[in-house]
Amino acid sequence: MKVLYAIQTTGSGHISRAKEFIPLLERRFQFDVILSGPPVQLDLGHPVKKHYRGLTLYTYKNGRINWIKTLFKNNLWQLFRDIVKLRVQDYDLVITDFEPISAWASLFKGVLCFGMSNQISLWQKGVTKPKKKFRKNINYLKWFAPAKKEYGLYYQKFNNRIFSPIISSQVRTLKTSNDGGFVVYLPGYQETLLLEMIKKLPLFEWHVFTPKRNTKDVVGNVHLHPIDEKIFLKHFAAAKGIITNAGFSTTTEALFLGKPLLAIPLKGQIEQKYNAAALQKMGVVVLKRFSPKKLEEIRHWVEHPKSIHIPFENDLVNLADRMTLDFIKSQTDPKLLMDSQ
């Protein structure tokens, strides 16, 4: 049996998840890996057959998505060509982690495709929903990377199609403390804006990680870091608190380690609106932006950080076994696969 595992590279969560999932695939299938999206700053630990340009979200300096730049900077004609040329028919199964090229190629060419992502959870019954005005936009996500069979990852397991977040083995084995400073990971914000805000906050030690930085620097009590997984996890484990977007991976890691968390959803990103609604329901502090207008609320959180600990179970083997069983069902009787939805 030959599998194509396709991973989107927007954000670090998809790659972190893949690093944990690939060893389980190796025990079960012969497979190739493709990526699509911006360049990867984390090591996947496995050969990549091809990295496609895919789709990339562009943001303003304050983190808000720039939809006009996103539309014109992405080469939609190249995306269509990649979908047409990708030979998914050479595989028995395609597994997509919210990767659109493989998903649409599978749909057009009649190849079985399984989807696995946090986004899939967001249109299931039982999910915590944001304000009504955002709910209609979830339909766009449904068609971003369509799949025959869907496996959602979420903060709570509210039905048998939802699995616990995939927490990396590195994070699971971290020795934690609160002896370090505060960690800031807001990749959509410009570094200068972050520095201006932190100068107005209490004189703790701060560790700011930004994707556009290549070398480490220190400005007063602020340590500026490039994206480096080992350094990030070192400061993450010792942090007094974490300030980040409402992306799924970093927020679940903070909850797993019991770290105080301040979540700032990326404006215009629907999945983060849904994640933020769930986090707020769990007691996490959620703010609309990291800006002077929110300074007093941020200051209060820094001075009185509140930790929430959720010991997510390791669902990896269950997920891989379910996929294997569902593939076997699809080969014996496709109706059984539909029944298992």
- Whether 2-166+313-339 and 169-303 share one fold: the answer is yes
Domain residue ranges in the chain: 2-166+313-339, 169-303
Reported pTM: 0.89
Strand partners, 8: 36
Looking at domain 169-303, what is its CATH homologous superfamily? Answer: Glycogen Phosphorylase B; (3.40.50.2000)
Please identify which residue in the block is written with the tokens 């770290």.
259
pLDDT tens for 180-230 read 999 999 998 999 999 999 999 988 999 999 988 999 999 999 999 999 999
Q: Which helix (H) or strand (E) holds 339?
A: helix 334-339
* Buried b or exposed e, range 74-96, using 16+ CB within 10 angstroms: beeeebeebbeebebeebebbbb
Q: Up-side HSE of residue 223: CA atoms within 13 Å toward CB? A: 13
DSSP state of 273: H
- Classified by CATH at the fold level, domain 2-166+313-339 comes out as Rossmann fold (3.40.50)
The predicted-structure confidence for 33-61, as pLDDT tens digits, reads as follows: 999 998 887 788 899 999 999 877 666 66
Q: Judge whether residue 312 has pLDDT over 60.
A: yes
